Structure 1
Amino acid sequence: MTVPPGPRKIFVAALATETNTFSPIVVDRRAFEESLYAPPGQHPATPTLCTAPIPVGRRVCAEKGWELIEGTAAWADPAGLVARGAFETLRDEILGQLQAALPVDAVVLGLHGAMVAQGYLDPEGDFLERVRGIVGPDVLLAAELDPHSHLTARRVAAADVFVVFKEFPHTDFVDRAEDLWRIVVDTLEGRVRPVMSVFDCRMIDVFPTSREPMRGFVDRMMALEMSDPKVLSLSAIHGFMAGDVPEMGAKMIAVTDGDAAYGAALAERLGMELFANRGKHLMPQLDEKAAVAQAMAAKAHPVVIADMWDNPGGGTAGDATVVLKELLAQGAQGVAIGTIWDPMAVQLCFVAGEGAEMPLRFGAKSAPFTGEPMDALVRVVRLNAEAEMRFGESVVPFGRAARIAVLDDQGQETGIEVILNTVRAQSYDPSLFTALGIDPLAQKILVIKSTNHFYAAFQPIAADILYCSAGRPYPNDPTTTPYRHVRADIWPRMADPFGKDS
């Protein structure tokens, strides 16, 4: 890759969502607009997870005196398949902007990596191939990815560099965008020649970095990046088990300075280390009865119950009622639940107004295995027409929201309050509760819907964190999930996919 000296011209854009192919919620153009749709030059100063290459690129190019051409940035909160028209129009919008920007020295993209669209099992592969077709073989093509992605051969063939978030929860998306731009700058200024090597770990697992063994694994990756001059970047692709696609699964990426063989050996060594710890990464889980009983027996508060598989960040609706009904059955008090997604119930609350008491049916309307709809007398405590929470340096909207107190048949408060919302978003941060006037520190029990992204923000305030597996809103067991496309020779669908025990 040869770049003439002088100021550089770089194109940057973002197109991202995470697709649970088992979710019934189709993602249309409006879903992107509700989460983030920013035409060229209109991206806010704060990043939104997969769009971090844009604000970081602004700073880097300003410091270098380079020209940054911004394309559209679009992000939709995870759900089901992306409507074909939504994907194609957003893709073609960005490709048209790139075509108009030519010639460029590099293209930098913010992607997720687990998008699946109607008619496209690998939309990011399609997108990257089209970008490569426009800019030709000699222009640097680099992208930042979420680790919960599908690293297909098609994508690796099209791109020069992938840098992936290392942390789960994803607290480092800005840091990894900084790493990506460092490699871009060093490449364009002739100091490095990045090559990617990939190893297929042949496993489906969940890899929280808030606990061992993944915490130590990530620390070792970062230490190698600092100590080995041949290594430009190391990344672990976790995979996304709710994505039924042929190349789903964990993979290791080593980006080295011109030494593909060295990178391949390093990626294999690290990948086999991951494989050796298969089944040991996921946090211990309780069912709803045990989680509620343990939380109620606690002497210190608040106790956080993570309804970990009803996670809108994994594409579910976030409207399950299993934990709520167990809390009521066991007589729990001092409880705040954030959130249950139910746009219709929110609309009814807004019509009734703050202070109104009303019968309300809410929750468990989207899919099987999420419990039954909740029928209760409620009081509308607080309304927020534009509710938001924090996620690191990002601001995450969760739409019009209503805080309701659940009452008993005599109209007395049960001690349980629920936040109902209209824009699906997982529970990232305690500001979710303060946005509706709830002091999270004053609660005995906080119920949130997230697998692990909540951890960084809630751990400092929690007396205890309980991971609760309640119902089956998310396909979390690869041995029983009815995949149609995922290969059979992958752990745990096959005990020994490497054949080392034969």
Structure 2
Amino acid sequence: MRLFMATLSTETNTFSPVPTAMSGFEAYYLRHGTATQEPPNLMTEALHEWRYRGEALGWEVVESLAAIAEPAGITTAKCYEALCAEILSDLEAAGGADIILLQLHGAMVAEGFDDCEGDITNRIRAMCPKAVIGISLDLHCHLTDAMMQACDLIICFKEYPHDDAAARAAELFDLARRTFIGELKPVMRCQPCQMINMYLTKTGAMRTFVDRMSKLEEELGLLSISLAHGFPFADVADVGAKVLVVTNGDPDLARCTARLLSKEFFTIRDEVSCHTVSLDEALDQATAHPQGPVVIADMGDNSGGGAPGDATFVLRALQERELENIASGIYWDPMVVRTCEDAGEGATLRLRLGGKTSSASGAPIDITATVMRIRSGLGQHLGKGREPLGTMVWLRCSGDLDIVVNDLRTQVYHPEAFEQMGIDLSAKSIVTVKSLFHFYAPFEKIASKIIQAGTPGGTSPDFQNIAYTKLESKFWPKSQISL
């Protein structure tokens, strides 16, 4: 028995001016068959899980590429073809495989390929027509017909923030094993929900809906139910939420269950969707709150959604209000990081921060700041995995305004992104974080209040006004439709 496995993951914001090239994978995470020799991150947890389970059964495990890039703009054709070719070459060199498991993102777009996951899985199917092919996807994926045709099994993360990657990987492994020995005959059916938004699964109606999916799996004997949230910041034909149901040889049950859950989800659309306040309202609420720290999410400049990470709208508003005792980050500005490295810790510098990538980032801000600390090789936790932070710089401006800048585009996941630099968040009045939802659970433990601000930028949560050109069907909230 031979198991072949690989990871290829990036989430493409097709509106982003920052292209995704090989350098993006090299800077973030690129390993050639050795990822399981290192501690896991979000997108390599599956490889660790599959290797452990495969070797426990005495299988031959062939580990191929693990390539991960921080979300950005469209991947260059040269980069995508090179990564794809490496996986296919490794599969050919191994002599094929009985079971092929891939951890993909599901929202990767390259030049000439709106559906990278559908493309690579179909190439693999052509090479190994009899293999059991299963893929695990980030729930911010675009489920496509091409993926469904190529794969025997597709499972999406159920949780956002994503803390169930290992659980979903274990689930996929078990289903693939049972399929290979003939115990199962998976059938998949998918149903669009006609909704585009963001959905936090940890509380309220969204938590209830995710729990209902799990309960139905047990009650109806279904192999798997996934809600693919979709990735709103992508101009592709399959953008939007979809329900995916996998049954054991029962297409009618799969189809009916997918339709049922799709309608149920649409019915509670107001309750499950992301609700934000303006930046001014967020700051009004924060300054009126009796104690700190109040955490404000700068949602419009989330690198995890492909935004540049150098928007200055929040920082400018903090300065204009002359607010004090603030921590703010992470700002992506390699030029500032390099200047601070050259000057060294303790230097006081005049710096032009942020606003360098596009008009969506706002204008640069001139600051005078002291370089408090410079650190490299740090990471921050996302669930059990640990994500890199690049070179980090802590800048202190007048009024105890602490700014964290780095040279590796990444969103804020965890308070340790600040605390490892020496910043005591518990003593701050306000903390602003460039993130959408992944920060929520870790920061909830230290925050007196969390505010989701619909700030300007490359991931501004103004979903009804995103300029789609390839989506043919109507969707809520742009159109008042019914299912």
Question: Which TM bucket (shorter chain)?
Answer: over 0.9
Aligned to 1:67: 60
TM-score, normalised by the number of residues in structure 1: 0.93
- Residue 388 of structure 1 pairs with residue 379 of structure 2: yes
Aligned to 1:216: 208
Q: 1:464 aligns with which of 432, 449, 462?
A: 449
Q: 1:260 aligns with which of 234, 251, 258?
A: 251
**How far, CA to CA, are the matches of 2:35 and 2:199 in structure 1?**
35
**How far, CA to CA, are the matches of 1:291 and 1:461 in structure 2?**
18
Matches within 5 A, 1:5-404: 8-136=1-129, 138-229=130-221, 231-404=222-395
For the 8 Å contact 2:306–2:458, the answer to whether it is kept is no
- Residue 486 of structure 1 pairs with residue 471 of structure 2: yes
Aligned to 1:5: none
Cα deviation, 1:285-339, whole Å, max 9, x if unaligned, reads 2222221222122223211111112100000011111111212222222211121
Aligned to 1:474: 459
What amino acid does structure 1 have at the position aligned with 2:264? E
Query: Displacement of 1:366 after TM fit?
Result: 1.2
Query: Displacement of 1:33 after TM fit?
Result: 1.2
**How far, CA to CA, are the matches of 1:186 and 1:302 in structure 2?**
50
What amino acid does structure 2 have at the position aligned with 1:398? L
Stretch of structure 1 that moved more, 377-386 or 220-229: 220-229
Cα deviation, 1:399-427, whole Å, max 9, x if unaligned, reads 11110011xxxxxx222110001111110
Residues 36, 414 of structure 1: CA spacing in aligned structure 2 closer, same or farther, 3 A cutoff? same
Give 5+ residue unaligned stretches, structure 1.
1-7, 407-412
Query: Displacement of 1:217 after TM fit?
Result: 0.3
Aligned to 2:407: 422
**How far, CA to CA, are the matches of 2:62 and 2:374 in structure 1?**
40
Stretch of structure 1 that moved more, 313-322 or 41-50: 41-50
TM-score, normalised by the number of residues in structure 2: 0.97
Identity of aligned residues (%): 37
- Residue 440 of structure 1 pairs with residue 433 of structure 2: no
**How far, CA to CA, are the matches of 1:129 and 1:158 in structure 2?**
5
Query: Displacement of 1:376 after TM fit?
Result: 1.1
Stretch of structure 1 that moved more, 432-441 or 280-289: 280-289
1:109 counterpart SS class: strand
What amino acid does structure 1 have at the position aligned with 2:396? A
**How far, CA to CA, are the matches of 1:369 and 1:95 in structure 2?**
38
**How far, CA to CA, are the matches of 2:268 and 2:111 in structure 1?**
35
What amino acid does structure 2 have at the position aligned with 1:470? T
Cα deviation, 1:459-496, whole Å, max 9, x if unaligned, reads 11111101111223325334322222122433334322
Cα deviation, 1:81-129, whole Å, max 9, x if unaligned, reads 1111110000000001011112421100000000111111111111111
2:378 counterpart SS class: strand
For the 8 Å contact 1:475–1:481, the answer to whether it is kept is no
Query: Displacement of 1:45 after TM fit?
Result: 4.1
1:219 counterpart SS class: helix
What amino acid does structure 2 have at the position aligned with 1:472? G
**How far, CA to CA, are the matches of 1:143 and 1:304 in structure 2?**
36
**How far, CA to CA, are the matches of 1:473 and 1:106 in structure 2?**
39
What amino acid does structure 1 have at the position aligned with 2:464? T
For the 8 Å contact 2:139–2:230, the answer to whether it is kept is yes
1:436 counterpart SS class: coil
Number of residues paired by the alignment? 483
Cα deviation, 1:205-255, whole Å, max 9, x if unaligned, reads 2211123221100011112223332x0111001111111001111111111
Could you list the structure 1 runs, at least 4 aligned residues long, displaced by more than 4 angstroms after superposition: none
2:121 counterpart SS class: helix
What amino acid does structure 1 have at the position aligned with 2:181? E
Query: Displacement of 1:387 after TM fit?
Result: 3.0
- Residue 454 of structure 1 pairs with residue 439 of structure 2: yes
Cα deviation, 1:179-213, whole Å, max 9, x if unaligned, reads 11121222233332221111122221221112322
For the 8 Å contact 1:26–1:79, the answer to whether it is kept is yes
Query: Displacement of 1:44 after TM fit?
Result: 4.1
For the 8 Å contact 1:380–1:403, the answer to whether it is kept is yes
Stretch of structure 1 that moved more, 122-131 or 485-494: 485-494
RMSD value, Cα: 1.5
What amino acid does structure 1 have at the position aligned with 2:54? C
Cα deviation, 1:14-51, whole Å, max 9, x if unaligned, reads 11100000000011111101111111134444332233
**How far, CA to CA, are the matches of 1:42 and 1:218 in structure 2?**
31
Residues 45, 255 of structure 1: CA spacing in aligned structure 2 closer, same or farther, 3 A cutoff? farther
For the 8 Å contact 1:61–1:68, the answer to whether it is kept is yes
Aligned to 1:410: none
What amino acid does structure 1 have at the position aligned with 2:152? D
2:139 counterpart SS class: coil
Which structure features the higher share of helix residues?
A: 2
What amino acid does structure 2 have at the position aligned with 1:149? C
What amino acid does structure 2 have at the position aligned with 1:305? I
